Amino acid sequence: MEFDLLYQHRDFIIIYKPCGMSVHKDSEAEGLTSLLAKQIGVEKVWLVHRLDKVTSGLLILALNAESAAEFSRLFAEHRIHKTYLALSFQKPKKKQGLIIGDMKKARNGAWKLCQSRENPAITRFESLSCEPNLRLFFLKPQTGKTHQLRVAMKSLGSPILGDELYGKNTPKMDRTYLHAARLEFEFHGKKFDVAVRPKEGDWWQKDSVKMKINENPFFGKGKIPV
């Protein structure tokens, strides 16, 4: 397979990761990093952050060890700002706000949100009604915990459409409807603001959903710098 290359810099590359592909090798003969390195004709690329296998969208990969170290620092200091899109059939307990709490391991590889706040996961969110029983969520994680957004959505009473781990009573879907839509960061003094719409999934193509995405100002501002 070939990846969509959304932005190429001498020190890093931003690609569109399709849903259903792991950023790790898993059981595949070749992993994402090896496939991408072959595609762009370099010996190696460095994975500097992760997306769940079920999540689509923007993924940064470094092209040298120095930039990999710099991106690791930027992510650790929460200086790379991410915006995700999600869909749910369920109306949330509140339409917007913060979801804060410690995360602890639960059963079957899942996590759960706790009321304690010793080292909490923090997510800012807002939601819009697309049509009866279908809501679009804009999620801005302030921390980077495993399954953070999926757990946050479940805690709101709005499990993500198609998320079989955290929404076991939701109907089976063609994908999990979580998408990494926008990245904003500064690298070596230059500001970057990259946005991309989700490509896979029937529900993303609904006119009511596309209209709400287009109405949100971040897609007007998000751009690929020249």
Q: Using alpha carbons only, what angle is made at residue 150 by residues 148 and 154, rounded to the nearest 5 degrees?
A: 115
Q: Are 162 and 147 in contact (CB under 8 A)?
A: no
4 catalytic residue (yes or no): no
Catalytic residue among 26, 52, 163, 202: 52
Terminal-to-terminal C-alpha distance of the chain: 26
Say which residues have a Cβ less than 8 Å from residue 75's Cβ, sequence separation at least 6.
48, 49, 144
Sign of CA dihedral 116, 144, 181, 35: negative
Reading the block at residue 97, the tokens are 């706000």
**Positions marked active-site:** 52
